[in-house]
Structure formats: C-alpha cells, structure tokens
C-alpha cells in the first residue's frame, strides 16, 4: 500500500509488522518479510533481529535463532544483552547449559555486562537442575558485578534449597536478603512455610506466620492453606479450626483449595460431622462444587464405615453434571469390598463406562485385591488378564488427582506387601546365542539390513521363500505374507508354592520388545511418580530431556523388581536406567547390552551407507547408556 503511494517502509514499519506476525505465530510469513526487508535495502536493527530470534526460540527452533545471530553479526549489528538473554533463556529451558555458558563467554569478550534478567535465567535453570551450590555461586557473582539480586532471584534460590531439603540454608538466605536491603515478600515466606510444613516443622512455620504480620506483610490465601494443611497433617485439628476462623475474620476469602484442605483434614481426623457441615455450607452458598469435594467426603465416609451414606453421596454425584472420576470409583469400590460387598463393587466397576470413565490400573488393583480379600479367587485371575489386555488405555490415561484428592499412597488400597511386581525385560524363549546362530541365507552380504527387510515384505497373501541356517543345518522355508499383530506384553499372577491364603502375590510381567504403543519412555511414565527418564546428549552436552510429572503414573508405589540380561538393550536400558536411578526398582540378572547411540544414516554415491553417531542416551544419573552395563 505504502509502495503504491511512493513510500518505502522504514525499519520501524518493518519491525512493527514483523512483531505482529511473530505474536500471531505466523513465523513463516515473518521469516519471509525479514529477508524481503534485507533484499529491499532496509537494514534491520538490533530490535528487528531480537524480535525474530525471540519468536524462533519460543517455537523451539534454537538452531535457526543462532543462525540469525550469525547473520546479524556479519551485517555489523552487534547483539545486545536482550538478544543474548533471549537465546540464553531458550538454551537453559532445553537443558543446554554448556551452550548458554559459551554465550556468556562471548558476551564477556564483547564487553556486554550481564543484567539481572540474564543472571536470574541462569539461577533458575541451575536450581531446576538441582545444582543449588552453582546457583549460589552465580548469586555471589551478581553482587561482585554490582548487580543486586531481586526478591524474585532470591525466592527462586530459596525454593530450590527447600525442594532439596536444605531448609536451614533457605532460612539463612532469607536473613541474607534482608541484610542486603531486599525484603522478602509473601511468596518468599510461603515457599519457606510450605517446606517447613512438609517436614512437620509446623511450629516453625507458625513463627514465620507471626513474623510476616509484624513486618506488615499480609498473609494471603496460600499462606493460610499451607499452614492449615500442616496442622491437619499433625492432627492439630483444633489449631487448624482456629486458623480457619482467623482467616475468615481477617476478610481473606477461602478458595476451593482451602475447602479441599479443610474437608480432607476433617475427614482424615475423624471429624465427619464438621466436614459434612462445611460441605452443606458450600452447597447453600452456591459455591462451584467439583468432583474433588464429593470424592473427599466419600473417602472419609468409607473409611469410617458409613458405607450407606457414601453410596447415597456417590449416587448424588452420578446423577449430577459433574460425574465421578476414576479415583472416585476406586474409593467407592474399595469401600464396598472392605464391607464384604464384592459383588456390588464389581457391578460398580463394570458400570464405569456408563459415565465415560475407563478403569485404570488402580481400579483393577483395587477390584482384584477386593476379590482376594473376600475369597473370590476365581474372579481375580481373569480380571488380571483383562487388565493386561487394557494396557493401551493405561498409556494414554490422563486422569489424575488434583489438590485435596487423596493420593494412592494415602489410600487404603492394601499394604505395600500385597503384591510384588516383577518386570522382565528380555525374551526368555530363545537365548542370545541361539538367535546369533540363525541367519537368513541368499541375501548379499553387503546388503543393508533395511533393504533386506524390504525385500521380505509384500502384499498380504503372497509368498516368500527363505533359506535359513541354524548352525550346520540349512532349512528352506516357504512363508505366506499376512498382517500380524504382535503383543509384546505377557503377564500372569503367581502364588508362592506352599504359602498361606493371605500370602503376598507376585505379578509377573514380561516385556519382550517395544513398539509405538509401548516405548521405553512411555513405559517408564507408568512406574514413576516424577523425575527425569532419560537425557539425549551430544558433544555440547544435554540436548533434550525426557521426564515425567506423574500424570501418567498408574503403578508408582508397588514394590518392583526388574529382570535384565545381556539381551536387554536400547529402549529397555532407557527404562531400566530410569527405574534404577530414580530408586524405583531393584535390578536382578546379568549385565545388559549397553546400546545407547543415536545414529543418522547417509546414502553415499556408490550406493553404500554411512552410519554417523550424532548423540547418545544418558540415564538420570548422567551415565552413558552406550557404556553402562546395568
């Protein structure tokens, strides 16, 4: 439009349009406009470059962002602290700390001083990686450079110290920041109080609560929630109720989390009447109730033996717009089984689909244990088979508890020793030597394995002839092509011979291979409540991190033993390393294969192929899988 009227867009106009395109996620168009701008002689400035670099980094396209930095340097435009901070932030979020440190070195050489934002990015990343001591060194470096850490910087460090169990060190940092003239805010104190309450130091958390009031810092709803939950956990019910009254008197409005804590704490401490009263008040006040509140009350009623009242509340939930979750069903099924009503529990289990609720591993375990508890052994074993057949559902199951809903560890699903799970990560039917001694003949020795595989494929119903040698014996086979569904998972429920009826059972699961539905990383998520699963590393350090937040966990607390041998390799070793380094399982067997390379295959001009190792897998403890024998 401007060109039609005889006007050429200047750098400000281009930068403005570029920024709009990037914010709308139209990166391709933004990229095109950027190079059109250069082509037409409008020289981008540092702001223009930074806009594009920021957009690329947010899309995870860090290598392209680095290319743009290279272009701007060649064009004589020096990146400033903002440009570098954008790139450092993106690298740190990917765990590529060494590359980020290299950029800091470049900044130092160019005389660019790091600002508080850049320092804070490093501190936050180091804290998330558990490198607290290094983070403290960075804080000291900030001060030496004359840059005073902000309350956010200090709070980040305090949070990391608390998460690593270093509460006394965190309290020391609070004292240090005050000496430096940086006053802690309500968030800083909430972090410290939460950590103290989690290790049952509620009295110390109360002292901080009082200190906040004296310093003129008004506690917020998170402060009250944290302290109230700590009191309930120590069965200081009267103190929790008093804090509830203080909260209401101060004008602080309870949120849904507050009500969840209050109901859960009252139920667990046997104060069902108080819980029911508050629930009724919530109902009368027309607060937005959700399934969590119903679930907490149903759990309390079941544990107290009030199964009829629990059933009534469950029915009320079932006919409402909310509907029970999978965990609500677990609690109700468990309650019915404990009261000697396994048939009613099983009917409820089978009706889960009526509410579009698929049973997960927890539900199956509750029902199976309920059958054993009530001498319904004949029904338990078929249900275990059904459970294994439903494995694909468990992998994609995204149902998980929220604040206020009791976790699996808090539930009375049975004692830890009710069942030992054994996970076998090799095929027991053929030994490694037997497989090595069998090989197809009449395939050229130079032929690449994937080419050979392609030659063996064909339309369904067609035939293929093979010559196979096993030792000195040669066999000629005629095979018919067919679609075959392979199930890599086999399982059975075992009893120790000669044991008593209530003796712990052994669940044996054999995983002979991995496929798209059962990958090493996804399988690890089933067993872990949280933590790193595997690192992907190259010459520059950590390139990518695969971890889990526990949302996919369905068996994160059952005793687990893992069997491995010399054939346990690659994806199996990723799973083994994750379970071992997260102290989730005990390993038994032989040293594993040690295969952890990631390779790219390149076609050469003579038809041959070159396999180049581009990266490798490392366990959560930073052991190279390609060299480790578990």
**What does the block give as tokens for 308?**
């009829």
Angle of the 377-389 helix axis to the 361-373 helix axis, nearest 10? 170
Residues ≥6 apart with Cβ < 8 Å to 322: 289, 290, 291, 294
**What does the block give as tokens for 65?**
């962002």
DSSP-derived letter for residue 252 is P
Catalytic residue among 570, 572, 580, 615: 570
Using CA atoms, how far apart are residues 479 and 456, in angstroms rounded to an integer? Answer: 10
Q: Any idea which residue has 């293929």 for tokens? A: 464
For residue 545, the cross-strand partners are: 535
Using CA atoms, how far apart are residues 579 and 588, in angstroms rounded to an integer? Answer: 13
Catalytic residue among 99, 505, 581, 615: 581
Look up 144 and say whether it is catalytic. no
To which H or E segment does residue 443 belong?
Answer: none
Q: Is 447 exposed, middle or buried (0-12, 13-18, 19+ CB in 10 A)?
A: exposed
For residue 38, the cross-strand partners are: none
Residues ≥6 apart with Cβ < 8 Å to 525: 533, 548, 552, 553
Angle at 380 between CA 379 and CA 385, to 5 degrees: 105
Catalytic residue among 64, 379, 595, 597: 595
Determine the 3-state secondary structure of 469 from DSSP. strand
C-beta of residue 116 within 8 angstroms of C-beta of residue 141: no
Look up 570 and say whether it is catalytic. yes
Of 347, 424, 342, give the one whose Cα is nearest residue 592. 424
Look up 595 and say whether it is catalytic. yes
Which residues carry out catalysis?
570, 581, 595
């Amino acid at each position: 439009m401007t060109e039609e009227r005889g006007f050429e867009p200047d750098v400000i106009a281009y930068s403005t349009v570029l920024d709009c395109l990037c914010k709308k996620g139209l990166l391709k168009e933004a990229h095109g406009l950027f190079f059109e701008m250069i082509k037409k002689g409008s020289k981008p400035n540092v702001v223009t470059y930074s806009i594009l670099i920021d957009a690329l980094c947010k899309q995870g396209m860090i290598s392209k962002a680095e290319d743009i930095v290279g272009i701007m340097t060649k064009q004589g435009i020096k990146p400033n602290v903002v440009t570098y901070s954008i790139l450092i932030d993106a690298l740190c979020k990917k765990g590529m700390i060494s590359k980020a440190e290299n950029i800091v070195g470049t900044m130092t050489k160019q005389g660019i001083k790091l600002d508080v934002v850049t320092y804070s990015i490093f501190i936050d990343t180091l804290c998330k990686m558990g490198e607290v001591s290094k983070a403290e060194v960075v804080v000291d470096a900030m001060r030496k450079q004359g840059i005073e850490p902000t309350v956010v910087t200090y709070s980040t460090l305090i949070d990391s110290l608390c998460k690593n169990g270093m509460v006394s060190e965190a309290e020391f940092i609070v004292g240090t920041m005050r000496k430096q003239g940086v006053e802690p805010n309500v968030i800083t104190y909430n972090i410290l109080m939460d950590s103290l309450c989690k290790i049952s130091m509620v009295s110390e958390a109360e002292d901080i609560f009082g200190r906040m009031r004296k310093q003129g810092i008004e506690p917020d709803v998170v402060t009250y929630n944290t302290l109230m939950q700590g009191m309930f956990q120590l069965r200081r019910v009267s103190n929790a109720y008093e804090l509830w009254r203080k909260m209401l008197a101060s004008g602080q409005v309870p949120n849904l989390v507050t009500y969840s804590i209050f109901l859960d704490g009252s139920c667990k401490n046997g104060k069902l009447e108080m819980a029911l009263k508050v629930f009724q008040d919530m109902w009368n006040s027309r607060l937005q109730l959700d399934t969590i509140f119903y679930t907490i009350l149903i759990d309390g009623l079941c544990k107290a033996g009030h199964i009829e009242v629990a059933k009534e509340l469950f029915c009320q939930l079932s006919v409402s717009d909310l509907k029970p979750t999978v965990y609500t069903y677990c609690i109700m099924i468990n309650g019915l089984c404990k009261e000697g009503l396994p048939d009613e529990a099983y009917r409820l289990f089978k009706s889960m689909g009526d509410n579009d609720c698929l049973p997960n591993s927890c539900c199956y375990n509750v029902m199976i244990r309920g059958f054993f508890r009530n001498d319904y052994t004949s029904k338990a074993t078929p249900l275990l088979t059904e459970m294994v057949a439903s494995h694909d559902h468990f992998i994609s199951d995204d149902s998980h508890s929220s604040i206020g809903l009791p976790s699996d560890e808090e539930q009375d699903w049975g004692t830890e020793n009710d069942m030992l799970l054994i996970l076998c990560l090799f095929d027991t039917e053929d030994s490694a030597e037997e497989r090595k001694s069998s090989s197809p003949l009449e395939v050229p020795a130079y032929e690449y394995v994937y080419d050979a595989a392609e030659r063996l494929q064909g339309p369904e119903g067609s035939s293929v002839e093979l010559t196979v040698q096993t030792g000195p014996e040669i066999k000629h086979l005629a095979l018919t092509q067919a679609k075959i569904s392979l199930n890599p998972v086999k399982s059975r429920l075992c009893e120790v011979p000669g044991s008593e009826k209530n003796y712990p059972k052994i669940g044996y699961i054999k995983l002979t291979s991995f496929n798209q539905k059962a990958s090493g990383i996804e399988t690890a998520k089933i067993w872990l409540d949280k933590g790193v699963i595997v690192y992907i590393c190259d010459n520059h350090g950590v390139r990518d991190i695969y971890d889990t937040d526990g949302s996919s966990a369905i068996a994160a607390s059952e005793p687990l033993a893992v069997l491995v041998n010399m054939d346990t390799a690659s994806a199996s070793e990723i799973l083994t390393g994750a379970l071992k380094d997260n102290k989730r399982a005990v390993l038994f067997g032989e040293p594993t294969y040690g295969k952890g390379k990631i390779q790219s295959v390149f076609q050469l001009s003579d038809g041959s192929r070159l396999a180049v190792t581009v990266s490798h897998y490392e366990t959560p403890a930073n052991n190279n899988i390609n060299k480790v024998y578990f």
